Structures are given as structure tokens and as C-alpha cells.
Amino acid sequence: PASANDPEARYHAVIANWTLIFIPELAERLAYIRDIYANLTPGGVLVLTEKTNQDEAVRGMYWDFKRRRGVSEEEIQAKARKLQGVLTTQPASWYDSALSDVGFESISVAWARYGFVTFIARKSTGGGSPDSS
């Protein structure tokens, strides 16, 4: 990762779609979010979309959604098996807390459906990072 003080490594916006769910260790996920935060300009925005924990009812609604779009039961089950142990979800509250803990402000949910959630988090215009001690 680039240094947080490198002006060439600063971004006004970062979009991360379905990325963190493939990082199994929560400490590594948090480090990924911290790195994004460090490389955003003051006032920069992170748009983060992740699959979050789904209870049985929500999973059923999601699979019904897939079926209505022509995905077969066999395909649904095969994908579920392929992702087992590869994709690791967390509750939406984990993401909200993690974003806040790293220093993001104005965290909101822009979209949510069937356990998929898009967060929009803005770095303060002051650009400071919370004390990590």
C-alpha cells in the first residue's frame, strides 16, 4: 500500500464491491479499510458494497429472487457449495462499526436488499485519523 502522506496515492473516491467478504480474517479486513481511509483525500468517499449475514428467511427470499430470474435450483445450490468456506459474511453492524472505528464520518446505507448492503462513508474534511492506541 502507498503511504498515507503520498499525494500521488490520494483518491477522491474508492469503490469496493464484494471485496471484503473474500478476506477471511477480520483484522485483515479492518487493515484494508484503514488503507482505503489513509489513501482518501479529506472529504473523500468510500462506496462499499458487501454481502452481509443472511438469516434463513432472507436467504430464502434471495434464492426466490434468483429463481424468478431463471436460475435453476441446481445452479443456486452449486454456487452455494462453491462459496462455502470462501466467502465469509459479517452482520451489517460490523461494517458500520469498522468504518466508524477507522475514522469515517457520515456513514449511511445507500442500498440494501437480500443481505447485500451498499455503504457510503465520507472521510472528514479535516483528514485526521482517530488515535489508534
pTM of the predicted protein model: 0.85
b/e per residue 44-75 (b: at least 16 CB within 10 A): bbbebbbbbebeeeeeeebbeeeeeeeeeeee
pLDDT of residue 4: 53
Q: How far apart are CA 44 and CA 14, in angstroms?
A: 8
In this structure, are residues 82 and 35 in contact, taking their beta carbons and an 8 Å threshold? no
Which residue type, as a one-letter code, is found at position 63? W
Give residue-wise pLDDT tens across range 77-118: 999 999 999 999 999 999 999 999 999 999 999 999 999 999
Residue 59 and residue 115 in contact, taking contact as beta carbons nearer than 8 Å? yes
Residue 1 scores a pLDDT above 50: no
Rounded mean pLDDT, 12-29: 96
Residue of 52, 84, 78, 55 lying closest to 66 (CA atoms): 78
Confidence grade of residue 132 (pLDDT, cut at 50, 70, 90):
very low
Of how many residues is the chain composed? 133
Kindly indicate the confidence band of residue 9, based on its pLDDT and cuts at 50, 70 and 90.
low
What local confidence, expressed as pLDDT, does residue 126 receive? Answer: 75
- Mean of the pLDDT values across residues 55-79? 97
